[in-house]
Amino acid sequence: MQQQTYVYHVVPLEQVRRAKIVADAQYSDKEWLPAYQWLEKEVGFFPLFLSVGDIEAAYVTGYQNQWRVFIGGDYGEDKQYRKIYRKAGEFPNFVLFAFPLASVPKRRFTDYQWWNIVLTDVLCERAVDNQLHRRLFKNSWTEARWLRHSRRDSHYVQMLAPELDLAAAEFIWVRNKATQEILVKQGFKNVAVKRLALES
């Protein structure tokens, strides 16, 4: 029997509703917005981003990063580099939703590795050439081939969708019991407290 293929999407707790969510530019990081708008022109809808595959695909969503303490660094006025650490009360609260593939009827696959190159080109205001476009979308690939590719390595395949029905999630992960209780009160089922180890 073939293993169920899931797609995963992370939503900040404050945006969670037991309803359909529609991709909206106002929730996008302004730094990346030009690249998302480029994708919108290419696929015909403003995208929600989903990872595809087994449980390892959950890492592509960034769910685990809500436990990250060290988040980078910056140079102060004295030109000395200082590491930045999150303090209590500064950690995000992400909710991971896992859906059977069939529950997302409108979808488009892209190569996640090539998306990072496209994103850089768009943000640097360089044209995305035909070769790069082909590598990103792989228009000759069937959905079955995309899914085989995701089973080999879930970090290679990204799925785009214009909307998601959060109520259709088969299971949900949250960071703590307080968040679990909030979602259960909203009517969600199969909500589990789940922490993922940070990638080094």
Cβ neighbours of 68 (radius 10 Å): 15
- Whole-model pTM above 0.85? yes
Residue type, 52: V
User: 130-137 vs 112-123: helix axis angle to the nearest 10?
Assistant: 140
pLDDT band at 3 (very low <50, low <70, confident <90, very high): low
Contact 149, 97 (CB under 8 A): no
pLDDT band at 1 (very low <50, low <70, confident <90, very high): very low
Report pLDDT digits (tens) over 48-103.
Answer: 999 998 888 888 898 998 988 887 888 888 888 888 888 888 899 999 999 998 88
pLDDT band at 160 (very low <50, low <70, confident <90, very high): very high
Q: Which residue has the higher pLDDT, 5 or 159?
A: 159
Q: What is the pLDDT of residue 79?
A: 81
Q: What is the pLDDT of residue 2?
A: 52
Report pLDDT digits (tens) over 97-124.
Answer: 999 988 898 999 999 999 999 999 999 9
Instruction: Please count the helices (runs of H) and the strands (runs of E) in the chain.
Output: 5, 11
